[in-house]
Amino acid sequence: MIRTRALLVALVVALGMGALASPAAASSGGQGVKGDKIVDLRGKDTGGHYPTVALAVKDNSFNPQNVRISIGVTVKWTNKGRIAHNILPADKKQDFGKKFGVDTSKFGPGATYSFTFNAPGTYGYYCSLHGAPNTAMFGNIIVGDGKAGASGTAAAKKLRGGTLRVPKDFKTVQAAVDSAKPGALVLVAPGVYHEAVTVSGEHKNIVIRGESRATTILDGDFSEEPGHENGFKVLANGVAIENMTARNFKSNGFYWTGVKGYRGSYLTSIRAGDYGIYSFDAVNGQFDHDYGSGSPDAGFYIGQCYPCNALMIDDEAEWNGLGYSGTNAGGSLYIVRSSFHNNRAGIVPNSGTGEKNYPQHGATIIGNTVYSNNNGATSAIDIAQIATGNGILLAGGNDNVAQRNLVYDHDIGGVAAIPLPEKLINPKNPNAVNFDAKNNKILDNVVKDSRQFDLGIVSTINSATDAGGNCASGNTFTTSMPADIEKVAPCTGTAGAPFKTDIPRFAGLLARSTPPSADYKTVKLPDPPASALVDMPNAKKAKVRPATNEPSIKVDYASIKVPTAPQQ
């Protein structure tokens, strides 16, 4: 009964429309699609945030009926008729990459439906009210060469190895990533790409590389659209991203989550609304030769992992709330030979109940240059405002080591182990915890020009006389809290005098007023320094190295010396 009625409708429509639904193959591209000649819309999309082509839905046809588009382009259907229609896949078994189609109830007159085609293929569709597959009200979207989908099955999503070039082979980075199989290189030519890229689980062990770090740019345009918040959001293991810039993203520049194996090399993040370069609940990683600027939270963030087995090396962070933040992250976690300057605060591993695995413990900070982190002009979250004026703060964590760093020019402290009293900071949070700092070591640093103290230890807000196992030895410094810090809390041997720190002074510093946050979208940032303009060696031809064995830079930590001050 239903079929008969549909057929009747189809016949009426076909007659009314002048028999547009001719069964003759009219394809010029040899794809064998039925219906009108294929209209080639490649190069005729909108460009912009997501390249889009518009199709009109009328009573009762799709116009144009058959179109060819570039890979990665979004098709937007607008119902310009006077009645409701729907859009359904002609072959229910065909893999469109995700659920395709729109129900009649959501596609009345004036309604729109958009779908992004990220894999080459021929995608047939129809309206079940006014047509049937390849009959009456139907259409085809031919993506790229149309080949992968020619068989009309899941082959539409065939993955490729080798080098996938953007925009030569794929219009967008996302389309290339969606076609990349393990071991593939997605090589992105210079240009500004207004897109946000997700690397889903099946695209593991790929490398995404810009040909030129400073001019291969992903731009988020501060988009509020769901799913567009991050430059890269990586959920696949072993993915390396190299030699490019992400800017103006609402949340994060480069983000790996829940993965084993990750690497970000020669990356630049500017104006990310949360974090610049960010791993979360991820292990076996490396951030090297990266630059992060203009994030209200942290330029670099490694969160919720133990053991993290991660390395940050030869990185630079400036004009962020925090240069580095690492909540609840530790265990084979090294931050070395990097530069943190002109942030609100420099390097701040910390504990927090906002994520799992607290308290933080086991980060090692060696051979970094940390200076002038007093910058009240940045955008900054609350914690960064509170931490303003500090170089290295071991905040509410345990078993951390700060060793052989050069730390200078800070309004408050150079290197300090302090508690992180969440109950004070978040009085309305019923789950807040006052985290103590315990067993942290401050060793062999060169610390100068701190307005309050070069070195500091406060283990707990509950006791001025408990050093909590925190200690300092071998540092070059002038002032400390408590005074004579290496005598009252030495890392080796016995203390020469009882430990007594100054808790009211610490609380006063915690409670002092600091400049409010600037807007991360508009705050004036310095031009990226020379270090952020350095390309990876031989970007076009360097070996493809997925992040399967990170950290891949092997460091003899014992050999790293205290840095010398950069030329001002």
509-528 positions binding another protein, by CB under 8 A = 510-514, 516
Closest approach, Cβ 264 to another protein, in A, equals 17
Which residues neighbour 413 within 8 Å (Cβ) at sequence distance 6 or greater?
389, 390, 391, 393, 450, 452, 453, 454, 455, 456, 481
From 7-15, 55-63, 313-321, 429-437, give the range in contact with another protein by CB under 8 A. 429-437
Nearer to another protein, 10 or 87 (CB): 87
Nearer to another protein, 120 or 419 (CB): 419
Nearer to another protein, 224 or 527 (CB): 224
Among 429, 465, 476, 549, binds another protein (CB under 8 A): 429
**Stretch 91-120: interaction string toward another protein, x if CB under 8 A:** --------x--xx--x--------------
Among 79, 94, 343, 351, binds another protein (CB under 8 A): 351
Among 201, 496, 526, 566, binds another protein (CB under 8 A): 201
Task: Give the CA dihedral 459, 465, 468, 470, nearest 10 degrees.
Answer: 80
Q: Among residue numbers 407 through 426, which ones bind another protein (CB under 8 A)?
A: 419, 421, 423-426
Nearer to another protein, 223 or 475 (CB): 223
For position 507 contacting another protein by CB under 8 A, the verdict is yes
Closest approach, Cβ 155 to another protein, in A, equals 23
For position 216 contacting another protein by CB under 8 A, the verdict is no
Nearer to another protein, 382 or 484 (CB): 382
Report cis status (omega within 30 of 0) of the bond before 64: yes
From 60-68, 489-497, 499-507, 530-538, give the range in contact with another protein by CB under 8 A. 499-507
Q: For residue 381, which phi and psi values (nearest 5 degrees)?
A: -75, 175
From 53-61, 310-318, 380-388, 492-500, give the range in contact with another protein by CB under 8 A. 380-388
d(CA 326, CA 39): 53
**Stretch 250-279: interaction string toward another protein, x if CB under 8 A:** xxx--x-xx--------------xx-----
Which residues neighbour 134 within 8 Å (Cβ) at sequence distance 6 or greater?
23, 34, 35, 90, 124, 126
Among 65, 66, 268, 304, binds another protein (CB under 8 A): 304
DSSP letter (8 states) at residue 237? T
d(CA 522, CA 164): 35
Bridge-based pairing state of the strands 283-288 and 260-272? parallel
d(CA 533, CA 399): 36
For position 386 contacting another protein by CB under 8 A, the verdict is yes
Q: Measuring CA to CA, how many Å separate 283 from each of 178, 182, 253, 309?
A: 24, 19, 19, 6
CB 191 within 8 A of CB 213: no
For position 352 contacting another protein by CB under 8 A, the verdict is yes
d(CA 401, CA 420): 17
Query: Taking Cα atoms as reference points, which of 285, 291, 287 lies closest to residue 305?
Result: 285
DSSP element (H, E) containing 231: strand 230-234
d(CA 41, CA 114): 16
For position 503 contacting another protein by CB under 8 A, the verdict is yes
For position 357 contacting another protein by CB under 8 A, the verdict is yes
Q: State the number of binding residues for another protein (CB under 8 A).
A: 71
**Stretch 219-248: interaction string toward another protein, x if CB under 8 A:** -----xxxx-xx--x-x-------------
Q: Among residue numbers 441 through 480, which ones bind another protein (CB under 8 A)?
A: 460-462
